[in-house]
Amino acid sequence: MDDLCNYIGGRFVTHSDDQWLDNTEPATGSHICRVPLSDSSDVDAAVAAARSAHLAWSALSHSERADWLDRIADALEARYEDVAALESRDTGKPISLARDVDAQRSVSNFRFFAGILREHEEEVFEMASATNYVVHKPVGVGALITPWNLPLYLLSWKVAPAIGMGNTVVCKPSELTPMTADLLMQVIDEVGLPAGVVNLVHGDGAGAGAPLVAHSDVDLVSFTGGTSTGEKVAASAAPAFKKLSLELGGKNASIIFADCDMESTVAGVVRAGFLNQGQICLCGSRVLVEDSIYDEFRDRFIDAVEAMRVGDPSDEATDLGALISGQHLEKVQSYVELAKQEGGNLLTGGAPCMPVEFEHGNWMAPTVIEGLSPDSRCSTEEIFGPVVTLHPFSSEDEAVAIANNTRYGLAGSVWTGDLEKGKRVSEAIETGMVWVNTWLHRDLRVPFGGVKDSGVGREGGKWSLGFFSEAMNVCVKHD
Ligand code: NAD
């Protein structure tokens, strides 16, 4: 595999300094490619390219830009298997997941935003003596910064609405998973998108991300990543009043009532806890179970967790792959050690598990812990790995109190046969999104985002179109 290049002004270019980062496969530890460690001069060049493309691009109509999004979707779809294979190799996730979730959503993000752009209608507010109409103008140059867990899924979720609304952008993907961002630039180049509309700078947070957010010619920042990085991004963007969207960490509760359908609930809660090795911001890592069914649920849950196949990400039958890096594996393991100190009882997992032939990868057995206080650090802090804690509760109020007992407020799920109770409990949880009797059931039209330390603002559907534009009211007095 070649060294990667930045994509600036419609060309693949080398970065200014000869500093590189080794990109390795999480499953095997073997080398994939070198990633440019770009610096502020590369960021300057990318922002300048985005600025010079802005006037012409912002002058196109919504439907002309929607046509471009469709062309990108078609070209990306033609590379569907490449996206899945690269994403699986780069992140360590199972190929089936990379195909069904990452590749599928990356294509549908472009198609979906093309569709809603075409339907986007001018809002009009009539008064007795005047008519108001609302124009959605582009914001300008956007900085789009993404994490490693859903690399192209999240990058395409930002690029499509951002350029669809007439902005030009500079992308900064995670330095740990640069491969599909590079592939997207190849696709964008192939379809002939006007130069400078989408630019990409590879590199780490300090060298490339921070100068991009701070750049005086960047008008908007859409950031997805950890809460502590989000704090730095917010502090850097605030003095210039940049438009800012922050999608940050989570510590989500799955609340299981005694009247749930046991079989589908166990399957759903296992999926919520462990999909992508638990490395999804929406994962339900705290499982709260009504005390009358606690023992039965726990036993069936453990059986289902132990039945998951951990192994070769390229094997179609694999359920769980590797963790993203050695450093992240250490962090996740340190929480298991902490859980023991905090009085937790390890029910399964807890140790690294290294399938044969993969001993240099970052492997961790799916882990379930009970007996922790709902106030403990393991039960309230984001671990972001295959670790789930179980907690009994005896009333609706107690379940809601435990669910809300964290600094995060991103997502959650409620499992019950009583849909009125499901809705009542959902609305009492302090989060941006809750599912009832399902999880990660996504309609791209709905708002997505968190409260408390899980973020600021909403993206998704018309909320993305709103974020990536400035609404301007024009009031015309009648004759
Ligand atoms: P991270 O915060 O370490 O990095 C995210 C991105 O920010 C990377 O591209 C990184 O290079 C860049 N970055 C780092 N420091 C920066 C700085 N000072 N200025 C600008 N950019 C900087 O997060 P991560 O480890 O890549 O991802 C995991 C985190 O992302 C978890 O906390 C997870 O919950 C969160 N996440 C949230 C959502 C959501 O939608 N809420 C989705 C996926 C992941």
pLDDT tens digits for range 2-56: 899 999 999 999 999 999 999 999 999 999 999 999 999 999 999 999 999 999 9
Chain-centroid distance of CA 373 in Å reads 29
- Choose one of 42, 174, 463 to mutate for the ligand 1 pocket test, by most ligand atoms within 8 angstroms of C-beta: 174
Distance, CA 383 to ligand 1 centroid (Å)? 14
CA distance 148 to 180: 11
Closest CA to 369 of 285, 266, 249: 285
Asked if 264 and 148 sit in the same domain, the reply is no
Whether 11 is in a domain gets the answer yes
Chain-centroid distance of CA 108 in Å reads 15
Asked if 242 and 258 sit in the same domain, the reply is no
CA distance 211 to 42: 10
Whether 400 is in a domain gets the answer yes
Whether 1 is in a domain gets the answer no
Phi, psi of 451, deg, nearest 5: -115, 180
Pairing of strands 455-456, 243-247: antiparallel
Whether 327 is in a domain gets the answer yes
Distance, CA 453 to ligand 1 centroid (Å)? 13
Asked if 237 and 276 sit in the same domain, the reply is no
């638990």: which residue's tokens? 278
Whether 282 is in a domain gets the answer yes
Q: Percentage of residues in the chain with pLDDT exceeding 90?
A: 97
Using the Cα atoms of residue 181, residue 183, residue 185 and residue 188 in order, give the sign of their dihedral. negative
β-strand partners of 243? 220
Asked if 461 and 416 sit in the same domain, the reply is no
Asked if 174 and 138 sit in the same domain, the reply is yes
Which residues surround ligand 1 with Cβ inside 6 Å? 145-150, 172, 174-175, 204-205, 209-210, 213, 224-226, 229, 232-233, 247-250, 281, 382, 384, 410, 450, 455
Whether 26 is in a domain gets the answer yes
CATH number at residue 228: 3.40.605.10
Whether 291 is in a domain gets the answer yes
Asked if 153 and 239 sit in the same domain, the reply is yes
Asked if 277 and 293 sit in the same domain, the reply is yes
Distance, CA 303 to ligand 1 centroid (Å)? 33
* Helix extents (H) in 291-360: 294-306, 326-341
Asked if 373 and 294 sit in the same domain, the reply is yes
Give the strands of the sheet with 252-256, arranged side by side: 345-348, 367-370, 387-393, 284-290, 252-256, 412-415, 435-436
Cα 190 to Cα 11, 79, 194, 446, distances in angstroms: 11, 12, 11, 31
Asked if 292 and 367 sit in the same domain, the reply is yes
Per-residue three-class SS string for 380-416: HCCCCCCEEEEEEECCHHHHHHHHHCCCEECCEEEEC
Pairing of strands 141-145, 469-477: unpaired
> Is the predicted pLDDT of residue 121 greater than 90, yes or no?
no
- Do residues 200 and 185 lie in contact, with contact meaning Cβ atoms separated by under 8 Å? yes
The mean pLDDT value for 211-221 works out to: 98
pLDDT at 1: 57
Show the tokens assigned to 116.
Answer: 């809603």
pLDDT at 356: 73
CATH number at residue 378: 3.40.309.10
Which are the contacts of 427, defined by CB distance < 8 A and separation ≥ 6?
A: 434
pLDDT band, residue 352 (cuts 50/70/90): confident
pLDDT band, residue 354 (cuts 50/70/90): confident
pLDDT band, residue 133 (cuts 50/70/90): very high
> Is the predicted pLDDT of residue 219 greater than 80, yes or no?
yes
Number of domains in the chain: 2
DSSP assignment letter at 99: I
The mean pLDDT value for 54-83 works out to: 98
Asked if 87 and 219 sit in the same domain, the reply is yes
| Residue 75, number of CB atoms within 10 A of its CB | 19
Show the tokens assigned to 208.
Answer: 């490339």
CA distance 435 to 275: 16
Range of the domain at 25: 6-248+454-477
Which are the contacts of 9, defined by CB distance < 8 A and separation ≥ 6?
A: 45, 49, 52, 53, 195, 196, 199
CA distance 147 to 155: 9
CA angle centred on 221, ends 59 and 196, rounded to 5°: 40
Asked if 137 and 169 sit in the same domain, the reply is yes
What does pLDDT average to over the chain? 97
Q: Which atom of ligand 1 lies at the shortest distance from residue 176's CA?
A: 26
The mean pLDDT value for 291-317 works out to: 97
Catalytic residues: 247, 281
- Do residues 457 and 124 lie in contact, with contact meaning Cβ atoms separated by under 8 Å? no
Whether 92 is in a domain gets the answer yes
Asked if 214 and 267 sit in the same domain, the reply is no
